[in-house]
Structure 1
């Protein structure tokens, strides 16, 4: 098969055009929406809270009540959280109503309010006998966010919890 200069040039232009249409942007560089915020109420009895709308955190001290602190997440931390939310498509209808929840004492509660691009999504769930995949994703996201918050100096300065729930 004979390749002419014209055919070769056409092939090069096609490759450039096709590669230009492909999104090669890494996940970590997704643009963070200006209005991205969330609040997460979670943990035993839903006593802990992370709220980026008001830059506050509530820590459950168990026997000693709760304590609140001002904690602001950096743009990089918010971007990492946003990208994790996008991965699990948190703004979609996650259809949690059909899954069977269990009565567990003490109960663990999770309530989310997420705002992205002028849309707000609210998600709430408790304990499950068998965790559906979407709940496991949300639990991993909770743990990821809690890890970020608990590494902050403002959080570390809070008193340690005393006691435990039975």
Structure 2
């Protein structure tokens, strides 16, 4: 009888010790750890054929400047004179450079675009983005109306300025009229 009881006790300990049931506390700890880690969204190594983007930018609600590869146009804010649009086509090399910069900052991944603070500045910049990569389209925006910008917002601003300078060097953009006036 002792032998049977010892065998049953040993089997009981063996079964409970080798359980594959994971406790909820381990899952909570893993989830909490994952919250602090920014997930990276893998973009294809090579620029996909459907890669396109549109960025509109300006001061506050006035986002008349637009660079749009979907339509092959660039629009310039002429301030008091409205806006003007020209056709622009980036070269494959230029698009590849832009794509590589977007890949570097994980543009298709999650972004924290603003810090909540009690400080606001006026006027403020606002950028609106639409990006298509490998069948996925992402739409988002950011503003610098708060006094401190996040690292993500700074990266997006640097990217937009890079693209803007590239567009401004084109003959199409140079042929557009000069802006008149200014924003307060």
TM-score range, shorter chain: 0.7 to 0.9
Q: Deviations over 1:16-64 (max 9, x none)?
A: xxxxxxxxxxxxxx52110000000112221110100000111001111
Flag structure 2 segments of 5+ consecutive residues without an equivalent.
1-44
Given the alignment, which residue of 64, 67, 73 partners 2:81? 64
Matches within 5 A, 1:3-42: 30-42=45-57
Flag structure 1 segments of 5+ consecutive residues without an equivalent.
1-29
Offset at 1:103? 4.2
1:10 corresponds to which residue?
Answer: none
Which of the pair has more CA radius of gyration? 2
Find the residue that maps to 2:81 and give its secondary structure: coil
1:18 corresponds to which residue?
Answer: none
Given the alignment, which residue of 161, 164, 172 partners 1:154? 172
Offset at 1:165? 0.6
Separation in 1, partners of 2:153, 2:112: 10
Q: Deviations over 1:64-108 (max 9, x none)?
A: 1111111111111100000000000000011336x2276433332
Given the alignment, which residue of 40, 58, 83 partners 1:43? 58
What is the count of residue pairs matched by the alignment? 136
Is the 2:121–2:147 Cα contact (8 Å) retained in structure 1? no
Is the 2:132–2:138 Cα contact (8 Å) retained in structure 1? yes
Separation in 2, partners of 1:61, 1:134: 29
What root-mean-square deviation, in Å, do the aligned CA atoms of Structure 1 and Structure 2 show?
1.5
The answer on 1:140 being equivalent to 2:155 is: no
1:109 corresponds to which residue?
Answer: 126
